[in-house]
Structure 1
Amino acid sequence: MNQSHKEQGKIHRKAKVLLYLLLRKTRFFKGSPREFFRMTLDSFLAQLNLNQDFPFLLVAVFVGLVTGYVAVVFHEAILIISELLFAGRSMTANPDFSSLNDMVFLPLIPAAGGLFVGLYNAFVVKERPGHGLASVIKAVAQKNGNLARHLWVHKTITSVVSIATGGGGGREAPIAQVGAALGSSLAQKLKFTAGRTRSLLGCGAAAGLASVFNAPLGGVMFAVEVILGDFSVHTFSPIVVAAVVGTVLSRSYLGASPTFQVTEYSLISNSELILYFVLGVLAGLSAVLFIKVFYAIEEWFHRIEKRFKIPVWAMPAIGGLLCGLVCMWIPALYGFSYEVIERALNGSVSWPTMAAVYLLKPVVAAFTVGSGGSGGMFAPAMKMGAMLGGMFGETVNALFPGMTAASGAYALVGMGALTAGIMRAPLTVILILFEITGQYEIVLPIMFAAVTSSLVARLAWLYRSRHRTS
């Protein structure tokens, strides 16, 4: 035993000597050998000075790499669990309740997922979960980018369980939050400055969104436009590096094809832009509707929790049960499935299904997230927008046959416009939609409608706030 300890000690000393020689050669350490061997971790990190540009880029590569791996695990875990629990069920066909077991157990699956999330947050995390991306933006603005160090682990577990068991939230915002928390945790561990901490948080968020969407440009723009609000080169460069690394890694496991496979669309005539403008207005108003429904239901959950003194850990189970009762009739509402979006982009969803998903998607998303469950609003907004665009496209096709594009083109534009209206980030949405569909010809209508939607949503909220104060 003593002999093995001596051997380990020799190896440890040799490793330290090699590290010292390497650092002296690269001029990262300028002290004597005695000073080096007496250094603590904090003083060692101070000597390395990873705040410099080139070392910081290497750290950004590491964040992109780890976030990419987490995104792959996140994606595959949701896929495996959802296929296990909902095996053989089409997410767009009418439900078949020939088995009484389905009638009983389908609503209980999201309820069980909600119960797990509630218990986990109450007894492991020991705090009420906040709004995902809002908490990240708040950390950037008020806490110098500092997030709880273990947030990325907790968020990964609760989001996978909540979404895979049939919750109404989406997976894109949680993985962006997980990446942001990873970057923030590493920055705190390495004693970075406040500016570098915010940048590394943005690197994680960009890598997360880029990995899950297979959209590096959109991930970069999301980080600088939504999370950081900083377009400087000093911030931009490491975020680009992290997003590229995360995307390359996710592509090596999940494939490089666009997220949605759609036929080619184009602008039929310049006069069609008028119709896309109208769609942008409708998308902006729908974005306001989405937000109002979400917050109204969230407030309702808070009221019943206080009125009936329901334990906080039980609220996500109640939200999951309500979500399950709705989704069992309209499977397209489940958060883990994007099948209805792809079918809408190809013009093969019935009008009743589109209307039901449009009206009920914000409701089931609020049932899950508003009750304390986990999930994002990115995918629900895209799903609602695709249904709005699909219905609008079929209407204008009937009114103006031969001079308008297929309904799938309007579904694609509606998806981007409504998401831009909710996020108030049209540049991010434009780039993401271009990357996830590979449709360049439809970029002009998306740009027009997305900016229109963002403006209409902002004006609607201003009018609403002035009307309340008057």
Structure 2
Amino acid sequence: MDNIFHKIGSFISRQDYFLKWFILGLINGVISGLGALFFYYSLKLCEFIFFNKILHYHIPSPTGEETNNLIFKPGLVYLLPIVIAFGGFIAGFIVFKWAPEAEGHGTDAAIDAYHNKKGFIRDRVIFIKTIASAITIGSGGSAGREGPTALISAGIGSWLARLLGLSEKDRERMLAVGIGAGIGTIFKAPIGGAILGAEILYKSDLQADIIFPGLVASAVGYSIFGSIVGFVPVFGYYLQNFNPLRLPLYIILGIVCGIVGRIYARTFYYFKDNLFKSLKTNIYLKPVIGMFLTGIIGMAFPEVLGTGYGWLQGAIDTKFSMFNTYGIPLFIFFVLLAFIKIIATSLTVGSGASGGVFAPGLFIGGFLGAGLGIVYHQLFPSLVNTSHIGGFVIVGMLALFGAAGKAPVAVTLMVVEMTGSYQLLPACMLAVAVAYLVSGDYSIYKSQVKTREDSPAYKSLA
């Protein structure tokens, strides 16, 4: 059977570049789209079991996933730390028992495999990462689903390359294509995802030959995923008109996001590499401790549990009444939420539980944008009315991740796909560029290298 697949791979490899990578992109996209669907519904099942059935919670969800979505119903609050810790125990046991490389946030592991492991990811990582991440996030851990999907799809790309007997350099490309296809699919942002697969490998560079197959794979994966889940952008449609007079306000937001992006990266790795690494306890118990503490935080601030996308949607739609601010002024509360999310994510993912750091980055930036948007509205009510605050939320989301993830081009394109509109594109371009510059060399992905010349994979791709 392997011989048959190797013959198919040999036939594909003999074609010219564009036909070859069109075919490989199609294959990668189909499998990645199906993998993203399996992960998405595994996550929804875990959320249903842990939150709906055990805790009797209803967590808000974004427009692109559910109608009547901005409803929060707290349930058995006193059980929250125990249930989340139990989820951490299951996820941690699965990961550390069968695939330790699947711990933490998946995108960094995929980047490391590209640069240092010749594009090799063990087959079991695909399944282990799927189940462990679904349990971590579904039980309430503060983490995102894009990172796990990136590693799952990167693993699929690596597996397909080995199945077809492709060369080492093609295996590395297939892995990178998988990163972009996975993120573009689960986030319903195929163009941004394709560029992200080429850009996220480096801090200050881009792997151009990944873009064409990435576009094909992301388009196919997105089409398969959207055919089942729906094609509405994750956060719905932004319909406000663009006003260039607000651009200086977005630049200030970019500066703030760049600074906080540095804080996010430094805090996360302090928890991961110092606190939890030096913790003298069984490795299986570290995610339990981290997620138990996350649960305690979540008792008072449920917004930080899971991906937090529903709460972001509330901020975008300016449904501020859904937030319990404890009497704190709203703009201070939103900024506080951003920093609490940094701590909760560092406790969850930094302890070894399986989940991504992409969604938390969006949450952090989004609520910084919400806080600043409210301040702008109070200072300049004729320039920034209440409905414009959602634009600052969206731009803040992307500016912070563009800075922390070192992917300014990809996230700038994502704003169009996330909102179904070009209205925020100029603001996002400026804010992301400023945030990227302010963030300096700090990155949430430690496996990134500066440029192609710094990567061991560069010679094999040359």
Tell me the secondary structure at the aligned position of residue 155 of structure 2: helix
CA positional deviation for 1:334: 1.1
1:451 aligns with 2:433: yes
Taking a change above 3 Å as real, the CA distance of residues 459 and 315 of structure 1, as seen in their structure-2 partners, is: closer
Q: Which residue of 1 aligns with 2:67?
A: none
One-letter identity of the residue aligned with 2:410: T
Partner of 1:150: 124
SS across alignment from 1:412: helix
The answer to whether the Cα contact below 8 Å between 2:181 and 2:197 also exists between their aligned partners in 1 is: no
AA aligned to 2:184 is A
Q: 1:163 aligns with which of 116, 123, 137?
A: 137
Q: CA RMSD in A?
A: 2.6
Query: Counterpart of 1:50?
Result: 13
Correspondences of 1:186-225 after superposition (within 5 Å): 186-225=160-199
- Residues 258-304 of structure 1: CA distance to partner in whole angstroms, max 9, x if unpaired? 11124422333x33211111111011001111112212222343355
Superposed counterparts of 1:342-357, under 5 Å: 342-349=313-320, 351=330, 353-357=333-337
- Alpha-carbon distance in 1 for matches of 2:414, 2:102: 31
Contact kept, 8 Å, 2:404 with 2:442, in 1: the verdict is: no
Alpha-carbon distance in structure 1 between the residues aligned to 2:194 and 2:72? 40
**Distance of aligned partners of 1:394 and 1:189 in 2 relative to their CA distance in 1, 3 Å threshold:** same
The structure with the largest alpha-carbon Rg is: 1
Residue of structure 2 equivalent to 1:236? 211
CA distance in 1, matches of 2:223, 2:297: 38
Q: Which of 389, 414, 418 is residue 400 of structure 2 equivalent to?
A: 418
In the alignment, the residues of structure 1 paired with residue 73 and residue 39 of structure 2 have an alpha-carbon distance, to the nearest angstrom, of 30
- 1:266 paired with 2:241, answer yes
Match 1:111 to one of 79, 85, 91: 85
Counterpart pick for 1:383 among 363, 374, 390:
363
Q: Distance in 2 between matches of 1:72 and 1:320?
A: 26
2:292 corresponds, among 310, 314, 321, to 321
1:84 Cα shift? 2.9
Alpha-carbon deviations, 1:52-78, whole Å to 9, x = none?
343553232122111111111211221
CA distance, structure 1, for counterparts of residue 394 and residue 5 of structure 2: 51
Q: Which residue of 2 aligns with 1:468?
A: none
Q: Structure 2: which amino acid aligns with 1:391?
A: G
CA distance, structure 2, for counterparts of residue 140 and residue 222 of structure 1: 14
CA shift at 1:91, angstroms? 3.8
Query: Aligned partners of 1:43 and 1:404: how far apart in 2?
Result: 60
Q: Tell me how far apart the structure 1 counterparts of residues 423 and 72 of structure 2 sit (CA, whole Å).
A: 37
**Contact 2:101 2:125 (C-alpha < 8 Å) held by counterparts:** no
| Whole-Å separation in 1 of the counterparts to 2:235 and 2:3 | 51
**Cα–Cα, structure 1 residues 89 and 121, in superposed 2: closer, same or farther, change >3 Å?**
closer
Task: Report what 1:467 is aligned to.
Answer: none
- Partner residue, 1:435: 417
1:14-54 deviations in Å (ceiling 9; x for gaps): xx9xxxxxxxxxxxxxxxxxxxxxx9568746754635343
**Structure 1 Cα separation of the partners of residues 353 and 141 of structure 2:** 8
Q: 1:364 aligns with which of 331, 344, 348?
A: 344
Local SS of the residue matching 1:328: helix
CA distance in 1, matches of 2:100, 2:390: 45
Corresponding residue number in structure 1 for 2:255 = 281
Residue from 81, 89, 95 that aligns with 2:57? 89
Q: Give me the whole-angstrom Cα distance separating, in 2, the residues matched to 1:77 and 1:43.
A: 32
Could you tell which deviates more after superposition, 199-208 or 359-368?
199-208
TM-score, length of structure 2 as denominator length: 0.83
Distance 1:181 1:40 in 2: 21
CA 1:292–1:317: 2 relative to 1, 3 Å: same
* 2:137 aligned partner, one-letter code: I
Q: More deviation in 218-227 or 128-137? A: 128-137
Deviation of 1:142 after TM superposition, in Å, equals: 2.4
Letter of the aligned partner of 2:109 in structure 1? S
Paired residues of 2:21 and 2:212 also in contact (CA < 8 A): no
Aligned AA (1:188)? R
- Contact in 2 for aligned 1:150/1:185 (Cα 8 Å): no
Provide the rounded CA distance (Å) in 2 between the counterparts of 1:376 and 1:223: 16
Contact 1:262–1:342 (CA<8 Å) still a contact in 2?
no
- Secondary structure at 2:276's aligned position in 1? helix
* CA–CA distance in structure 1, aligned partners of residues 415 and 72 of structure 2: 31
CA 1:322–1:193 in structure 2 vs 1: closer, same or farther (change >3 Å)? same
Unmatched 5+ stretches in structure 1? 1-15, 17-38, 462-470
Identical residues among aligned pairs (%)? 27
What letter matches 1:443 in structure 2? L
| Range that drifts further, 218-227 or 87-96 | 87-96
Partner of 1:330: 301
Separation (CA, whole Å) in 2 of partners of 1:323 and 1:374: 14
Higher relative contact order at CA 8 Å, sep ≥6: structure 1 or structure 2? 2
Structure 2: gaps (5+ residues): 61-69, 324-329, 444-462
**Quick check: 1:180 aligned with 2:143?**
no
Deviations 1:422-463 (A, max 9, x none): 0111111111121011131111011100000000001789xx
Displacement of 1:236 after TM fit? 2.9
Match in the other structure for 1:67: 32
Query: How far off is 1:202 after superposition?
Result: 2.0
1:79 corresponds to 2:53: no
Question: How many residues of Structure 1 are paired with residues of Structure 2 in the alignment?
Answer: 416
Equivalent residue, structure 1, for 2:382: 402
